[in-house]
Amino acid sequence: MAILIHPLHPTFAGEVSGADLRAPMSKEDVVAIEAGMDRYAVLVFRNQRISDDEQMAFTRNFGEIEHARGGNITKDDEFRLQQGMIDVSNLDQRGQPFDRNDRRRMFNLGNRLWHSDSSYRAVPAKYSLLSARIVAASGGNTEFADMRAAYDALDADLRAAIEDLICEHSLLYSRGSMGFTEFTAAERAMFRPVRQSLVRTHPVTGRKSLYLSSHIGAIVGWPVPEARDLIRDLIEHATQRAFVYAHVWQQYDFVIWDNRQTMHRVRRFDESQPRDMRRTTVAGDAMTAAQAPAEA
C-alpha cells in the first residue's frame, strides 16, 4: 500500500495513511517515511495497535535504539517496561498512577517544558516515536514547535549573532528551573552538562534550525544571566502559535518527531487516571559541538 501524507499545519507535521507499523516494512516504505520526516519533522499515524516488541522492531528501521541510561532518576528495580522502551506514562512499576509527591512524578513534570529529547546527551537523539496506549480523557496534548520555521523568521542580525554559539544542556537545568533541585551526588555526576550548537543544519535537507531546549542553562563564554535571557527570548520566539502544532491524542496514535528540527512539550491532564504513553528513541549519529575537556 502506498504511503500518503496529508499536511496538518502550514509549515510542518503530517498525517500518514497507508502504513501498518506492526508489520515488517518494505525498504520503499522506510524511505518514504524518512523522506516524510525530513520534510514534515512530525508524522502522525492513527490506529496503530502496536506491541512493545513491534514498536522496537519498527524503530530499528531508522537507526539504533538509544540507551535510556543517564536520562532519569528511576532506580533499576522501578522500571515498568523492558529495556529499550522509555516509559513516559504517569504509572509506577505496579501500573498505578504516581503519588503526587513521588520524586519520579516531579522529575517527569519537566516534560511540560519545551524541550528536545536527549539534548542533554553529547550525542543527542534523532527521532522519538511515541505510542499512545491509554490516553487522558481530556488534556495531555503534546505540542510541537517547528525550529526551522522559527530560525527562518529570525532577523539577519540575530541569525548572525547566534550562528556559532554553543549551549550547555543538562537535566539539572530544566528540572532546576521548576524548583526540582534535590539531586544526589551520583545524579549530579550523571547529569553533567553537555555542549550543543545553537544552530543546527539538517544533514539531508541542509535546512538550518534553532537547537533549543529547556535543558539549556548556559552559553559557553557568556555570563549566565545574559545567556538565559537570550535563550528565553529565543524559546518565546520559537514557540509562538504560528510555529506550533498541538496533537490531540487518540488511543493507538503513533507519532514520530525529529528532535533535530523540533521542540515539544506535554500539557496538563488528570493524573489520577492512567495515561500510558510508550516511547522509543532513535540514537543520533554525531555530536553537534566539541565537548568540554574533562575536569582534572
Please identify, using beta-carbon distances, which residue of 29 and 117 lies nearer to Fe ion.
117
Stretch that binds Fe ion, among 28-36, 54-62, 78-86, 109-117 (CB under 5 A): 109-117
Q: Which is nearer to Fe ion, 12 or 29 (CB)?
A: 12
Tell me whether residue 36 or residue 124 sits nearer to Fe ion (CB atom).
124
- Minimum distance from CB of 71 to Fe ion (Å)? 10
> Scanning the structure block, which residue is given the C-alpha cell 537570550?
230
Instruction: Decide whether 129 or 219 has the Cβ nearer to Fe ion.
Output: 129
Cβ–Cβ under 8 Å, residues 174 and 115: yes
Name the residue number minimizing CB distance to Fe ion: 117
CB nearer to Fe ion: give 32 or 259.
Answer: 259
Min separation Cβ 3 and Fe ion, Å: 25
What's the maximum distance between 2 C-alpha atoms anywhere in the chain? Answer: 57
Interface size with Fe ion, residues (CB under 5 A): 1
In Å, what is the CA distance from 78 to each residue of 85, 124, 142, 192, 208? 14, 25, 25, 23, 40
Binding window for Fe ion (CB under 5 A); candidates: 44-52, 111-119, 130-138, 281-289 = 111-119
Q: Where are the alpha helices (DSSP H) in 65-170?
A: 103-108, 147-152, 156-162
Find the shortest distance in angstroms from Cβ 116 to Fe ion: 8
Rounded to a whole number of angstroms, the minimum distance from the CB of residue 119 to Fe ion is: 10
For 18: left if phi > 0, alpha if psi spans -120 to 50, otherwise beta; the answer is left
Give the chain's count of helices (H) and strands (E): 8, 15
Q: With CB under 5 A as the contact rule, which of the stretches 115-123, 203-211, 220-228, 242-250 interacts with Fe ion?
A: 115-123
Q: Identity (one letter) of the amino acid at 224?
A: V
Nearest to 268 by CA among 177, 155, 143, 163: 143
Q: What residues between 175 and 234 interact with Fe ion by CB under 5 A?
A: none
Q: Based on CB atoms, which residue is closest to Fe ion, 112 or 159? A: 112
Select 87 or 117, whichever has its Cβ closest to Fe ion. 117
Torsion angle (degrees, nearest 10) of CA 200, 201, 203, 204: 130
Cell (9 digits) for 223: 555570563
Residues 29-58 that bind Fe ion (CB under 5 A): none
* Residue 69 CB contacts under 8 Å (≥ 6 apart), including other chains: none
117 scored as a contact of Fe ion (CB under 5 A):
yes
- C-alpha to C-alpha distance for 180 and 153, rounded to whole angstroms: 33
Closest CB 262 distance from Fe ion, rounded Å? 10
Q: For residue 123, what is its C-alpha cell?
A: 550525542
- Shortest distance in whole angstroms from residue 128 CB to Fe ion: 6
CB of residue 264 to Fe ion, shortest distance in Å:
6
Let me know: does 64 contact 286? Beta carbons within 8 Å: no
Residues that bind Fe ion (CB under 5 A): 117
